[in-house]
Structures are given as structure tokens and as C-alpha cells.
Structure 1
Amino acid sequence: MKEYNKLFKKEITEDGSVTFYSEEFDENFHSKYGAKKESEITYIQGCKIVEKLQSKSSVKILDVCFGLGYNAASALEIYQKIKPSSHLEIIALEIDEDVIQQTINHNLLSFWSQETKEVLTFLAEHKTFINQSYSLQLIIDDARISLEKLVNQKYQFDAIFLDPFSPPKCPQLWTVEFFGLLSKCLANDGIIATYSCAAAVRKAMQLNGLNIASNEAVGGRAPGTIASFYPLPPLSLKELEQLETKASVPYRDTDLRGRAPSILKQRENEQKNSSLESTGKWKKRWSKSNKVY
């Protein structure tokens, strides 16, 4: 039996699907409101995967932080359901191979079809899967390094699923520079979707020329974010004003090799020296207001 570098604790979410808890990051891999639901709402709906499969001859998806494989699984399920004539290509980035291996060993893919389960099981072992309808590639490395290579290969993705641990836990994948790489490999009509609505994340997107909008919320969670080069529905006044507070000071990683503590410290120093409105003042002002969020 394979020995793992770390073991993940199973957590049942509100839709009945199971996720893992990471001791390293002190976070679950998915929303407590539903792991499967999050993959379907935040990423499949957020990136308009159904519409893209029905209107394009080829759809390319970049899955950043593959994790348990649920986002890719949901994309495969949609493909199998609507049976489009388009070809689907998924490139998944993940740094910890143990996650998907333990997902398979714990039979957590049982929430998806047998076909999807077999595809992802094969992918976990061989790192590639190809048939006439779709292809998948799993790259095990630091996502920053993998993404640099994809940019150099001139990849253009129709959808990007951005699903790292939260910015305070994994800031290196939420920086201005990382979004710079993402924007370079995003197609003109492509969409980036994420669960995060952090002002620092949204500001980093804007600094790379992306338009932003709120993504649909999952359960009681705050709405996520979608980003694209084309116009999107406007943010609320409250959200717009938050982007002018110290909370919007973005994470930076100039050489794309920084470690989390140094990235966090640099942002903390920038916030201290910033003349922007404090986040506390913004929150207090809105708590007294009867304006609609």
C-alpha cells in the first residue's frame, strides 16, 4: 500500500459530498455548503461551460489546483450529459499528488458517473487521458512554474477554474504577477472563475486589464468572482467602494518564486503605508447605511 506524505481528514459537506481537510493550510478543500455544488455553481456555471461546449468546436479548460478533481469531474459530467460535437481539453495543475490518490482510495469520486470515475482514476496514475471526445493532462508542480510553461507554449484557455486555498493561506497563487500569467493564457472571450471575492484578488485582476463581476454564491457563502476581457455586469456600490480600501492592496510576487510568509509580510507593510481608507471604516460606514448591497 502506498505511503503518503500526509493524510487528509474527510469532511461531509451540506450537499452530502465529501471533501478533505488540510492540516497544512488549516482549511477544507471545498465549501461546507457543498463540495459538488461548489464545483457546479462556481466553476461550471461561472465559466459558462455548457454554452461554450454548445457553441465552439473546441473548448480548453485550465484547472488551477486540481485537488480532489471535483471541478474537472463536473466538466466531464456536463460533457457526457449534453454530448456536444465539440472537443474538450482539460489541463490541470496540482502540487500535491497525494490529494487525488487519497480521493480515489477513499472512493470520493463515487458522487460522479462511472465513466468520470474511471477517467480520473486513469489520469491520476498516468497523468494523461485521451479519447475521441476529450483529453486531460495532470501536471504535478508549483502552479507558477507550470503556468509559465503554458504561457510560453501560447495556450489560450476558454475557461480557467481558479481554486487554490484562500489568499491568506496560499497568497502565491493570488498575486498580481500570477494573474498576469493567467491573463496571458486567457482567450479573448474566456472566463476566469473563483470562489474568492477578496478585494485584493479583485484588484489584482483589474491591474491585469480584466473586467470583474460577482459570481453566484454557494449556500451562505459570499459570492465569488468572474473575470474576463469583455464587459461584465457591474459590481454593487459597496463592492466598488471596497476596492478603494486597504483591503484592496494586492499580493505581489515579483519573481513568481516567493514563499507565502514573505508575500504576506510585503502586503502587510504596503497596507500600513497606504493612504487608502481603512477596511474597518468602510465596514462601519456600510453597517450604518440602509443601502442595498
Structure 2
Amino acid sequence: MQAELDWRDGAIPVSSRFDDPYFSLTGGLSETRHVFLDGNNLPARFRDGFHIAELGFGTGLNLLAALIAWRAAGAAGQLHFTSFEAFPMAAPDMARALSAFPEVAGVAAPILAQYANGARHIRLPDLEARIVIGDARDTLPTWDGAADAWFLDGFSPAKNPEMWADDLLAQVGAHTAPDGTFATYTAAGHVRRALQAAGFAVERRAGFGTKRHMTVGHRPKETQ
């Protein structure tokens, strides 16, 4: 089932299903860098084969920000990226949304070209990315991977509670490598408690823009 969109100010995609924007109204790329990159201590941890997993692919902006950081850091080898998405955006909508960020245009072009041709396993010399289509409650438990870092980027817990349910976040913990991490823009108490129950040491940090707090954490080796 494809994403259903409204467009705010002609540029910001808003999910009609969840009544929530796909990126920050005050700077989506800056928010991605603050929450997901800084929150997971990236690019400092990058190494060949480093694996990022994500709940909610959306416009693909998080993938692009990670790949830009990977290249800027001069990381060797390949970045691996797996994203779980129930309602994929159509390629023309994705391109329209990403046009708000001229910085990503060159990096996005070959990825968008493969995506527009139907590829959900995208390969570049320095990237192997998979977009797993379907409800993450069904697809994540059967995934055979383990993430070094998680981007938890579903729509707001108040509007999309299934993406933040205890059993799904337990699966996030179960699919995290030793000393793996997560970051998310939300600081909702029930989300923090669920991630603690999933084996993470959880910390609240300053959020982006008007959001006072966000949440990060790591999974110590002894909980594996």
C-alpha cells in the first residue's frame, strides 16, 4: 500500500493516513543530522560493513544524510542500510520532497533512479541498501540481520502507536549488534521504558528545534 500525501506549502509532504509531516518543518536535514547521526555517534563509528537499520524509510532523507556523512568521513568499503516501510512513497513524490534539500541532489540521483525502476535493493560501490516493504511487526521478526545503529523514525507515537509498541521495540533490541545503538526524536515515556525493557541503556538528550528532548541508547554486550 502506497503512501497517501498532502503537501504543506507545496514542499513538505504530510501523511494523510497519520496526519504527520515526513520531516521537520524547521529543517529536515538538520534534524536528521542532530537526531540520527549525532544521536548514534556517527560518523565516528563508521567502518566497512557498518549496518544502519531504520523504522520508516519515508522520503529516504535519513539514508542520504548517512551516505553523505559516510563519504565526507572518507570511510572505506560499504555502508549497509536496511529500512522497514509499510507505506512506501512513490518515486515522483520522493523526488519532489527531496528537492527541498539541494545538498542531497547529487547523492540522491542514482538512488532515485534505481528506486523509480522498482528496485528495493539498491547497490552503489559504497552502499548496499534494502527497503523492506510491509508491516514491521511482520517483517522485522523474520529479518536475519543485526544493526550497529537504529534510526527509529516512525510517525509520532500519538498518531502511529503500532510503530512504537513494546513487542516491536523488543524486536529492535533483538536485532541489534553488541554495543549497538539507537536514536529517535521522541522522548515519550512509554517508548523509553519499552527500549529499556528491550535491553538498551536509555538516555534523554536535547531535541531538535522546538522539541525539548529526544532519546538515545546503547545495548551493552552483556545483554546480548
User: What's the TM-score, normalizing by structure 2?
Assistant: 0.88
Amino acid at match of 1:228: H
Query: Take 2:91 and 2:214, find their aligned partners in 1: how far apart are those partners?
Result: 24
CA contact (8 A) 1:11 1:21 kept: no
Aligned counterparts of 1:26 and 1:49: Cα–Cα separation in 2: 30
Pairwise CA distance, 1:228 = 1.3
Q: Shift of residue 90 of structure 1?
A: 0.5
Look up the match of 2:201: 211
In the alignment, structure 1 residue 223 sits paired with structure 2 residue 213: yes
Which AA in structure 1 matches 2:189?
A
Alignment of 1:115 onto 2:107: yes
Q: Distance in 2 between matches of 1:11 and 1:118?
A: 27
Structure 1 ranges of 4+ moved more than 6 A: none
Match of 1:73 in 2: 64
- Name stretches of at least 5 consecutive residues in structure 2 with no aligned partner: none
Q: CA separation in 1, counterparts of 2:112 and 2:41?
A: 22
| 1:163 partner amino acid | D
Q: Aligned partners of 1:107 and 1:211: how far apart in 2?
A: 34
SS of 1:46's equivalent? helix
Question: Using a 3 Å threshold, how does the CA distance of structure 1 residues 5 and 37 change in structure 2: closer, same or farther?
Answer: closer
Determine the C-alpha separation between the residues in 2 that align with 1:49 and 1:106.
Answer: 24
Question: Which residue pairs with 1:7 in the alignment?
Answer: 5
Quickly say closer, same or farther: Cα 1:40–1:165, change in 2 above 3 A.
Answer: same
> CA distance change for structure 1 residues 122 and 110 in 2, over 3 Å: closer, same or farther?
farther
* Larger relative contact order (CA 8 Å, sep ≥ 6): 2
Q: Which of residues 18, 23, 47 in structure 2 aligns to 1:25?
A: 18
Give the structure with the higher percent helix.
1
Partner residue of 1:166 out of 138, 156, 163: 156
Deviations 1:121-170, CA, capped at 9 Å, x for gaps: 423531122233221111111111121111xx2x1111110001111211
Which of the residues 129, 141, 148 maps onto 1:136?
129
Tell me if the contact between 2:55 and 2:154 (Cα under 8 Å) persists in the aligned partners. yes
Deviation at 1:100, TM superposition (A): 4.9
Aligned to 2:79: 88
Q: Say if 2:202 and 2:217, in contact at 8 Å, map to a contact too.
A: yes
When residues 106 and 32 of structure 1 are mapped into structure 2, their CA distance, relative to the original with a 3 A threshold, is closer
Q: Which has the larger radius of gyration?
A: 1
Amino acid at match of 1:126: A
Is the 2:59–2:89 Cα contact (8 Å) retained in structure 1? no
2: CA distance, partners of 1:121 / 1:11 = 26
Aligned length in residues: 218
Gaps of 5+ in 1: 13-17, 232-293
Q: Deviations over 1:12-57 (max 9, x none)?
A: 8xxxxx531122212212222211111111001111221111xx33
Tell which deviates more after alignment, 199-208 or 23-32.
23-32
> Residues 185 and 218 from structure 1, CA distance in 2 versus in 1: closer, same or farther, beyond 3 angstroms?
same
Identity of aligned residues (%): 22
2:14 corresponds to which letter in structure 1? Y
Match of 2:147 in 1: 157
Name the SS for the 2:52 alignment partner.
strand
- After TM superposition, the score normalised by the length of structure 1 is 0.68
Which of the pair is proportionally richer in strand?
2
